[in-house]
Amino acid sequence: MPSYPMISLTKVIATYEDEELLWQEFSQLADFKYITTHYQTTTRSLYHDLEYTGCEMTVEVQLLINNLTKATFNYDHSLALEVASVTFNGPYEQMTEVTLAIAAWLEAYDYQLAGPMFNIYHRSFFETTDPHDLITEACFPIAPLVTNQKG
């Protein structure tokens, strides 16, 4: 996954469902008349906690941009990463199944997680109100599995 310029908002939220509230706050803070969004995927969320907590998690919502004509927001570049990803249509209730599929792939191909997972929203609630129309790419940063081999 290449690096992209982005603006973002990071906060601790109580539950995964509260990500929607974070997006609402982000939308209120961003002055979109000064932002040119990236032509493809424009939104994603990064879960900073390395392990599943179920509550009180640190989440960063990001908008990928081409440029920012006025300093109205924190501006940065996302990191370039090697990821294993699954793209799925429909509601987010599928995340458990997606995560289990990635875990099986990691084990089968001798890879390990190398950072917190994030979602790329190819069609988000910015574009639709129907959860069945969502298109989400769940991304898991990876690295080859390192084994201790003593000779």
pLDDT for the residue numbered 70 = 53
Which run of H or of E encompasses 28? helix 19-29
| Whole-angstrom distance, CA of residue 131 vs CA of residue 44 | 16
Banded model confidence at residue 135, pLDDT cuts 50, 70, 90 = very high
pLDDT for the residue numbered 39 = 58
Instruction: Quick: pLDDT tens for 63-105.
Output: 887 766 555 555 566 677 899 999 999 988 888 899 899 999 9
pLDDT for the residue numbered 107 = 95
Q: Is the pTM of this model over 0.85?
A: no
| Residue 66 or residue 18, greater confidence | 18
| Whole-angstrom distance, CA of residue 56 vs CA of residue 36 | 32
Specify the amino acid at residue 127.
E
| Whole-angstrom distance, CA of residue 26 vs CA of residue 11 | 10
Banded model confidence at residue 34, pLDDT cuts 50, 70, 90 = low
Q: Which string of DSSP letters, residue by residue, matches 95-133?
A: HHHHHHHHHHHHHHTTEEE-S--EEEEEE-TTT-S-GGG
Stretch 12-18: mean pLDDT, rounded?
Answer: 85
Smallest CA-to-CA distance from 86 within 78, 95, 77, 75 is with 95
CATH 2.60.40.420 fits 5-144, yes or no: no
Residues recorded for the chain: 151
